[in-house]
Amino acid sequence: MASDDQGVDLLWGARDKPARPPRLALTVDRIAAAAIEVADAEGMASVSMQQVAARLDVTKMALYRHVASKAELVAVMIESAVGEPPDLGAVPGGWRPRLVAWSDLMREAWRRHPWLPAATTGERMTGPREVGWTESAVAALDGTGLDGGERMDAVFLLSGHIRNTQSGATAGTQPWTAEKQLRTILHEHQDRFPALHEAARSTNGAPRDNGWTFGLDRILDGIEVLIERRRAGTTG
């Protein structure tokens, strides 16, 4: 902390610069940073006005001088946590490697903040950085022959897949991710769910990644099919 340095200054000199504000001024950025710390450490459910305020040694109502509501606080958290959107201009190889790079970057950002997938669902405000990420991905599809709506749908499809596979939030959504008890249930009711039972049995030992790689490859293959079809002149 810089306050120690300040203390030395106060003792040995610079006495004339009298009372530097003893506590850091409360700002939106400091509030967002504290909220992100709470969310990273204890999950989105623990992000309450009082928890965040406590981390700043401040009353919860003090926060309302800087954010209008909890929703706004969350919006600021998101905008801060997603980080600057990437510039994919330097990625060689066309749209597909570009989208792969974009996905990896987005996944990495979301991995650092596991609460992001959950926080970015539902009606809410959208900030410029978030739009910037979308811009970046849509730009990666420039020159593919897809029209604007298709490019945006493709990005939506891809980012939705990232959210779905990312970090536990929606990971429990599908039965086979609850591993232990579900595996036993599936075993007990194998007569009722024969296809699932057989699928669980015949899964080769490949490391599970929540369907991330599989889905990414399928989505990109599907987009590629469409692009090729367009390039070949077929309207379908």
Q: Which of residues 166-195 bind its own copies (CB under 8 A)?
A: 168-176, 178, 182, 185-186, 189, 192-195
Q: Which does 193 bind (CB under 5 to 8 A by kind): its own copies, DNA, none?
A: its own copies
Chain centroid to CA 84: 13
d(CA 182, CA 35): 35
Q: Which of residues 105-164 bind its own copies (CB under 8 A)?
A: 118, 120-124, 126, 128, 130-132, 134-136, 138-139, 142, 147-157, 159-161, 163-164
Cα separations in angstroms, 163 against 83, 146, 166: 16, 24, 5
Say whether residue 77 binds its own copies (CB under 8 A).
Answer: no
d(CA 145, CA 46): 46
Say whether residue 69 binds DNA (CB under 7 A).
Answer: yes
**Beta carbons of 115 and 70 less than 8 angstroms apart:** no
Nearer to DNA, 15 or 205 (CB): 15
**Beta carbons of 84 and 138 less than 8 angstroms apart:** no
Say whether residue 51 binds DNA (CB under 7 A).
Answer: yes
Q: Which of residues 179-218 bind DNA (CB under 7 A)?
A: none
d(CA 160, CA 154): 10
Residues that bind DNA (CB under 7 A): 19, 23, 25-26, 46-51, 58-62, 64-66, 69-71
